[in-house]
Amino acid sequence: GTIVGSSSSTSLNVNWTAAASGSVLVEEVNSAGCIGSSTFPVSMLPPVVANAGPDMSVCADQPVVQLNGNILGATGGIWLNGTGSFNPENMTLNARYTPSSLEITSGFVMLILETTGNQGCPPGRDTVIITISPIPNIAISGTVVLCANSITNYAVPLLTGNTYFWSVNGGAINGGNNGSTANVTWGSASSGSITLTQTNNFGCDASQTMNVTMMAVPNPVFSGGSMPCQYSTELYSVPVT
């Protein structure tokens, strides 16, 4: 170790190194000039270290994270900070953490792992930052009540870095299904649906399904005379549907 300050008084400050052991030697001289000495052995405890694990990213719709803390030189640890909840508790190093609604809205949470049972040494601390990314906000535009066997376009805003995947029930997509728009030929059934799964540049995805009603094309049948007399009045009608 290294002596800090004076070495000629009745007290001494020592800055110990990382060695496993050391000693302090004191020599005392009395008024007659006699010299006595004493050695005090010292054993250095290993450093107390907290490791909160690597920073993490989650999506807002699945925000629960698995913590993976570990400690050295101490008997335990405790998770601090955060307004969410720990399961089973914040003294479990591998607890599961559920962010609060405030943390989800703000987009991040910072947790601190602090060692406990430090054998007289200062506690170790480490921080893990959890980034909470938003999911896509999907709003499909397009016709939901339409004629059977018709062709209709559906669309969402085109966002840089986003990917798209369309699927339909009761119809068929014309061309590609991986853009921000889809062109659909609907069948003759009375109903169907179109679904979009969108993934944003954070890797978070969301899906929306739009139900569609297909109306049968009317086929009116006339009733009335087909050979009326000249200058006569004839009534024609079709069934009420």
User: Residue 44: is its pLDDT beyond 80?
Assistant: no
> Taking the model in full, what pTM does it have?
0.74
Tell me, rounded to whole angstroms, the distance of Cα 155 from its chain centroid: 27
Of 88 and 11, the one with more pLDDT: 88
Structure confidence by residue, pLDDT tens digits, 197-233: 999 999 999 999 999 999 988 888 888 888 888 888 8
Of 229 and 196, the one with more pLDDT: 196
Structure confidence by residue, pLDDT tens digits, 99-123: 999 999 999 999 999 999 998 889 9
Highest mean pLDDT among 9-23, 61-75, 216-230: 61-75
Residues 44, 58: contact at Cβ < 8 Å? Answer: no
Average pLDDT over residues 142-155: 96
pLDDT at residue 123, as a whole number: 95
